[in-house]
Structure 1
Amino acid sequence: MKKLAITLLLVLGSLTIQAQDLTWHTDMKKATEMSKKSKKPLLLFFTGSDWCGWCIRLQKEVLKTPDFAKWAKKNVILVELDFPRKTAQTPEIQKQNMELQQALGVRGYPTVWFVKPTTKDGKVNLEQLGSTGYVAGGPNAWLAGADGILKQKK
């Protein structure tokens, strides 16, 4: 019985570590460069990380799961655009996040936009592929919706 319990703890621990391996970028310029090189779209996660209950729930139920980690590494470059109330941010990050919020018409949190950056005349444009938010049903339901958005634009 002890061996079973230890094995179960090791397996669950390794799954948690996989989910924590994800890199969430906060600098759009860097994330855009990575997106262009990898030919993967950007997943823009608009959140109120320290106050938005639905954002915290989306993180817990989907974005911090091993299923999401596996999917994200294969399909997207992750960008967190946070609008915290208690956590300090640099003025540059605040400005960047507000501009993106306005450009994409984000009116509530959580909102997740999938975009493809393109450059025209030296200016980066974001081709909107689609958006989503919190989806009940855990990671499988959320990932099915995300796959649907990404497949439409291929």
Structure 2
Amino acid sequence: MKKFLFFTLFATLTVFSTNAQEWKTNFSEAKKEATKLDQPIILVFQGSDWCAPCIKLDKEVWSTEAFKKYAKDHFVMLQADFPRKTKNALPEDQQARNNKLAETYNKNGYFPFVVVLDHAGKVLGQAGYEKTTPEAYIKKLEAFTK
């Protein structure tokens, strides 16, 4: 029984520490926070359960300690996920918000697709998956805000 409790606690802490990136899912809230903090919005279109490059970008950049530490003080992170598996389906209202974001910022349906926005929603730059370091990806995103 103690082993089970230990494993459960360990698994829970691991999940929370790996998912510590503070992702917004509501564009209005992201814009308010970006205005308040005077930070750009990093809007990420992803297919979390089917898009291999999306999963790689998450693992190689978004989930790294280097990126999370930097993003915390420099970006408002906004996620628009488009899962395909029924078990991962989003609530209807969230899916509707993501669809609206896609109509505005991802008309071609690219995945992953990263859009750097100012606090009002104006596009400053776009990126996708690249095999690179978190530090190099940060420089790329920052270059759009200069």
Q: Please state which band the TM-score falls in when normalised by the shorter chain.
A: 0.7 to 0.9
Task: Give the whole-Å Cα distance in 1 for the aligned partners of 2:126 and 2:43.
Answer: 9
Task: Give the whole-Å Cα distance in 2 for the aligned partners of 1:20 and 1:89.
Answer: 18
RMSD of Structure 2 on Structure 1 (CA) = 1.8
| Structure 2 counterpart of 1:139, one-letter code | P
Displaced runs of 4 or more, over 2 A:
16-22
The answer for the alignment partner of 2:66 in structure 1 is 67
| Structure 2 counterpart of 1:142, one-letter code | Y
Task: Give the whole-Å Cα distance in 2 for the aligned partners of 1:25 and 1:90.
Answer: 15
**Change over 3 Å in CA distance of 1:18–1:85 after alignment to 2:** closer
What TM-score comes out, normalization by structure 1 length? 0.77
In the TM superposition, 1:10-89 aligns within 5 A as 20-86=19-85, 87-89=88-90
Task: Give the whole-Å Cα distance in 2 for the aligned partners of 1:95 and 1:103.
Answer: 13
Task: Give the whole-Å Cα distance in 1 for the aligned partners of 2:93 and 2:16.
Answer: 31
**Change over 3 Å in CA distance of 1:106–1:38 after alignment to 2:** farther
Task: Give the whole-Å Cα distance in 1 for the aligned partners of 2:123 and 2:83.
Answer: 25
The answer for the alignment partner of 2:98 in structure 1 is 97
Q: Which of the two has higher C-alpha Rg?
A: 1
1:145 aligns with 2:140: yes
What TM-score comes out, normalization by structure 2 length? 0.80
For the Cα contact (< 8 Å) 1:135–1:141, is it kept in 2?
no
For the Cα contact (< 8 Å) 2:39–2:119, is it kept in 1?
no
1:55-88 CA deviation, whole Å, 9 max, x = no partner? 0000001110011012211211111100001112
**Count of aligned positions:** 129
Question: Which of structures 1 and 2 has the larger relative contact order (alpha carbons within 8 angstroms, sep 6+)?
Answer: 2
Q: Identity percentage over the alignment?
A: 32
Unaligned runs of 5+ in 1: 1-15, 119-125
Unaligned runs of 5+ in 2: 1-14
- Worse-matched range after superposition: 31-40 or 16-25: 16-25
Task: Give the whole-Å Cα distance in 2 for the aligned partners of 1:106 and 1:32.
Answer: 23
The answer for the alignment partner of 1:108 in structure 2 is 110
Q: Secondary structure at the match of 1:60?
A: helix
